[in-house]
Amino acid sequence: MQFEDSDSGTWLQLVPPEGSPFLPAAQVEKVADGVGKGVISHLHLGAMPTEADVAQATVFFLADRAVSGETFMPSGGLRVERSNTERELFGSPKQERLDKMKGKTVWVLGGHLADYVAETIRAMIEDCAVAHVVLITGNRAREKAVRDLLPKSITNDALHVLVAGDGIEEAMDEALAQWGRPTTVVSMPPEPLPERLFDEGAVLATQDFAQMVEDQVTRHYRVARKASLYDQCQLVLVSPDVPYGSDGPGFALANFVKTSLHAFTATLAVENERLVHDVPVNQINLTRRVRSEEPRNQEEHEEELRRFVRGVLLVGAPLPDAQDSRYRSKIYRGTSITV
């Protein structure tokens, strides 16, 4: 390397060392690999398409009069101020909304989360004075686990149990025929999450993952497909819970299910507004985004139980009619509340 005076005709000379490239080969390969992956990801739509991209695809490839273009937007077709995928539980239902539940019928589908189910049933019967609570569960063991947690004051006149197995639709038809149209339908996970995922020697099998999706996601779809046709009904979807103190893969699976349900809840809420039945749909999350925010002991778990019931009442109690209050009738539609 030489620096010479400009009067001599050359002002700068740079001579790299022998055998050393000007740019390190490893750095060149790293940058080239990043550029290549970026291009390929765009070519294969690895990036999330914009709403304009989805709308254009809808126009050209999904031009069906029976399909709403809003369904295919990433936000589920909700307006910006209503498209929050998740928020904390805030507030309690007003007494005037709870009073509308007196003498009505409530359905609870589930049974695996026995303490949550039992506390919901107790609050509906004792605090809200509903006439009938119908528990649709999978087997007698689930029924017994719930009954063992209920106060003795709750009789068979108020609580009715249908052991349905996998026959969800048939049980809903039977409940409708015997106890009439429900004012609230609470769809809860029927089974716990798998105890393994990527553990060495115990990887979650494909069929087990498919069954988990069937239990935790598809089941809500089956319930919603029928409940969305009930007049004056509120539908509440509940994401799975991870027992406090658990350090297994359940937390990751629970968040996977929760975020999967976000799109379904938001989209279904928009589509239901287009139907004459006008059934509001909302989601309650029992798993938080960060494991450190999960309940750590029995006391915090009981607090979560109380917050869960409050959340069910907040989105499950009858909403004002749009003719009475356009604003209040739209608040709890397509929301996802974390308790």
Angstrom CA distances, 63 to 59, 68, 71, 74, 271, stand at 5, 9, 13, 18, 17
CB 212 within 8 A of CB 132: no
Token pair of 211 as six digits: 């069954």
Distance from C-alpha of 280 to C-alpha of 231, rounded to nearest angstrom? 10
**pTM of the prediction?**
0.73
The pLDDT of residue 201 is: 65
Alpha carbon distance 208, 189 (integer Å): 16
The pLDDT tens digits along the chain (339 residues) read: 444 555 555 555 566 566 666 677 788 888 888 777 766 665 555 555 666 666 666 565 445 444 444 444 444 444 434 445 566 777 788 888 899 999 999 999 988 899 999 999 999 999 999 999 999 998 999 999 999 999 988 888 899 999 988 899 999 999 999 999 999 999 999 998 887 776 666 777 888 888 988 999 999 999 999 999 999 899 999 999 888 777 667 788 888 888 888 888 888 888 888 888 889 999 999 888 777 778 888 888 888 899 999 999 998 988 776 666 666 556 777 788 888
What pLDDT is attached to residue 170? 95
CA–CA distances in Å: residue 254 to residues 59, 261, 338:
35, 11, 13
Residue with tokens 């507004």: 273
- Amino acid identity of residue 137, one-letter, is T
pLDDT for position 21: 67
CA 6 vs. chain centroid, Å, equals 72
The pLDDT assigned to 244 comes to 78
Write down the pLDDT at residue 79: 43
pLDDT value at position 51?
62
Instruction: Give the CATH architecture of domain 69-338.
Output: 3-Layer(aba) Sandwich (3.40)
Of residues 68, 67, 71, 73, the one with CA closest to residue 52: 73
- The 10 Å Cβ neighbour count of residue 137 is 26
48 vs 160: CA distance, rounded Å? 46
What residue segments make up the domains of the chain, in order of their start? 25-61, 69-338
Residue 31 has a pLDDT of 82
What pLDDT sits at residue 227?
95
